[in-house]
Amino acid sequence: MNRRTESSNKIEASEATTAGRHALVLGGSLAGLLAARVLCDHFDRVTVVERDPFPATASPRRGVPQANHVHALMPRGRLILEQLFPGLQKEMMAAGAPLVGMGKDVAWLTPQGWGVRFRSNLEVLSFTRPLLDLHVRRRLITDCRVHVMENTEIIRLLPGRQNGKVAGAVVRTGGENSDRVVEMQLRADLVVDATGRASRAPRWLEELGYPAPEETIINAHLGYASRLYRIPEGFSADWKCIFVQAAPPERKRGAILFTVEGDRWLVTMIGGGRDYPPTDNDAFLEFARSLPSPIIYDAIRQAEPLSPIKGHRGTENRLRHFERAGRQPENFIAIGDSVCAFNPVYGQGMTIAAMGANALHECLCEEKGVLENFARRFQKRLTKVTAAPWMLATSEDYRYRETEGGSASVATRIMHHYMDHVVKLSTFDASVRQVLLEVFGMLVQPSALFRPNIVLRVLGHTLGFVRPPKSVAKKTSSGMLVYHSAAND
């Protein structure tokens, strides 16, 4: 391969001469694409730089290895995506992604029993992650202000002439397999880092003399292993998705089955506390069989596998405190997993990327075109978006004995106890389950779980006054005993 080295490379073309305000987005996964969509409303030109070539079909790519695994887009994220790209949901459904009622269509084994099944207004789309990315990308590039540079790696930030700003970034085009690698400077008024949890932004900032943001890492050592299956002909069940939740510290295993586009199931085995799920066929099935319910094992043991089993272990909660950095370039911000990456089992990352794009829009609406102190203002606002999901993910992760990076405080233990009652109630009380799903779906703040009606029910349950109404318990076609809400059934 005839690659020219960095040092022998002439730094070529520059975007500096092109007129108008220019925003540069580093990373072309979901956070980058959604940020780019919002930036279009505020800048004359937006350039997205991505190291990978983008696939023409809905297939995974190297830079987003997590795309092989189940990706649940929470209702809040679905709403924001639909606002940013009206009609996206219909397009996804036309491509085969089923709409799933969170109350009715998800067989959900909580640590306290099966979640009550009821008809709710909460719906999610069930798809493979590459399908979502493909549709978002397609919609984004129809905007003539957006320029996408694939096969292009960000190397470093470009120092600004003005103190306290960056001038853009230096990138290397051509990709790994190209015989012509060229470095170039991309000049921009605003630079947005969306290069994910492995972002090199801290290093890039240090290279320019700025402090790297402090990091908090809380790791429950979770592993994923996933495989696609063809749904057997004639198969019928009273669910479209299954979630067998782990119940740490004792029960460290869980799994998710999603019915996705193309009449397929995407099945993900999950093991916490270093109980990583295996990636060979027999052991994968054995892992499924070892779960507290055989529901997923029974579904997949006769089904035809359509993919190899892919594993993934990069699942730590990682928070980079850009908002606390003493000195920082005013026009360099970070968004998405680059700032706050979660243990993925709570399904928050994509929705936070969408909420982060909203926060970016709000901040840009307030600024007067000079981006003065913009980074600090934006990162502080983003902190408000990530605070509750971070608390939820990390405090739940403290239930694993193996979790590193912190431990449960007394307040967290009391919260665990309270939540155990809420979850127990959600196995037979549809009104409690509705609120729990709204919190999970990020439509309301976790404080909703402390509304007086829920606190009273928890109290009643603790004291033994509130018990499951046995009369509405039913056996489903898959043989499990669940409570159906008589009111909503």
Ligand X SMILES: Cc1cc2nc3c(=O)[nH]c(=O)nc-3n(C[C@H](O)[C@H](O)[C@H](O)COP(=O)(O)OP(=O)(O)OC[C@H]3O[C@@H](n4cnc5c(N)ncnc54)[C@H](O)[C@@H]3O)c2cc1C
Token output for 424 = 């127990």
Q: For residue 279, how many other CB atoms are within 10 A of its CB?
A: 17
CA–CA separation, 74 and 54 (whole Å): 25
Q: Which is nearer to ligand X, 64 or 437 (CB)?
A: 64
Residue 353 binds ligand X (CB under 6 A): yes
Asked, as a colleague might, if the bond just before 249 is cis with ω within 30 of 0, I would say yes
**Minimum CB distance to ligand X, residue 81 (Å):** 11
**Minimum CB distance to ligand X, residue 72 (Å):** 4
Q: What is the DSSP letter of 172?
A: E
Residue 223 binds ligand X (CB under 6 A): no
CA–CA separation, 471 and 154 (whole Å): 62
Q: Which of 189, 337, 397, 438 binds ligand X (CB under 6 A)?
A: 337
Strands 332-334 and 22-26: unpaired
Instruction: Give residues 116-145 in contact with ligand X (rule: CB under 6 A).
Output: none
Residue 336 binds ligand X (CB under 6 A): yes
CA–CA separation, 314 and 342 (whole Å): 10
Residue 30 binds ligand X (CB under 6 A): yes
Report yes or no: 251 and 371 within 8 Å, Cβ to Cβ: no
Q: Which is nearer to ligand X, 167 or 482 (CB)?
A: 167
Q: Which is nearer to ligand X, 358 or 412 (CB)?
A: 358
Q: Which of 69, 78, 227, 424 binds ligand X (CB under 6 A)?
A: 69
Q: Which is nearer to ligand X, 103 or 349 (CB)?
A: 349
Residue 24 binds ligand X (CB under 6 A): no
Residue 115 binds ligand X (CB under 6 A): no
**Minimum CB distance to ligand X, residue 129 (Å):** 7
**Minimum CB distance to ligand X, residue 199 (Å):** 7
Site string for ligand X, 304-333 (x = CB under 6 A): --------x-xx------------------
Residue 273 binds ligand X (CB under 6 A): no
Residues near ligand X (CB under 6 A), total: 38
Report yes or no: 305 and 187 within 8 Å, Cβ to Cβ: no
Q: Which residues contact 77 (CB under 8 A, 6 or more apart)?
A: 350, 351, 353, 354, 355, 442
Q: Which is nearer to ligand X, 196 or 271 (CB)?
A: 196
Kindly report the backbone phi and psi dihedral angles of residue 360, in degrees, each rounded to the nearest multiple of 5, phi listed first: -65, -45
Q: What is the DSSP letter of 72?
A: P
Q: Which is nearer to ligand X, 132 or 364 (CB)?
A: 132
CA–CA separation, 85 and 83 (whole Å): 6
Q: Which is nearer to ligand X, 361 or 421 (CB)?
A: 361
Q: Which of 257, 350, 415, 423 binds ligand X (CB under 6 A)?
A: 350
**Minimum CB distance to ligand X, residue 32 (Å):** 6
Q: Which is nearer to ligand X, 247 or 335 (CB)?
A: 335
Q: Which is nearer to ligand X, 334 or 425 (CB)?
A: 334
Residue 379 binds ligand X (CB under 6 A): no
H and E: helices and strands count for the chain: 12, 24
**Minimum CB distance to ligand X, residue 15 (Å):** 16
Q: Which of 23, 27, 360, 461 binds ligand X (CB under 6 A)?
A: 27
Instruction: Give residues 161-220 in contact with ligand X (rule: CB under 6 A).
Output: 194-197
Token output for 257 = 């089955």
DSSP, residue by residue, 400-448: STT-BS----HHHHHHHHHHHHHHHHTTT-HHHHHHHHHHHTTSS-GGG
Kindly report the backbone phi and psi dihedral angles of residue 14, in degrees, each rounded to the nearest multiple of 5, phi listed first: -130, 150
Using the CB atoms, write b or e for 32-44: b if 16+ within 10 Å.
Answer: bbbbbbbbbebbe
Which positions lie near ligand X, rule CB under 6 A? 27-32, 49-52, 63-64, 66, 69-73, 153-154, 194-197, 224, 312, 314-315, 336-338, 344, 347-351, 353
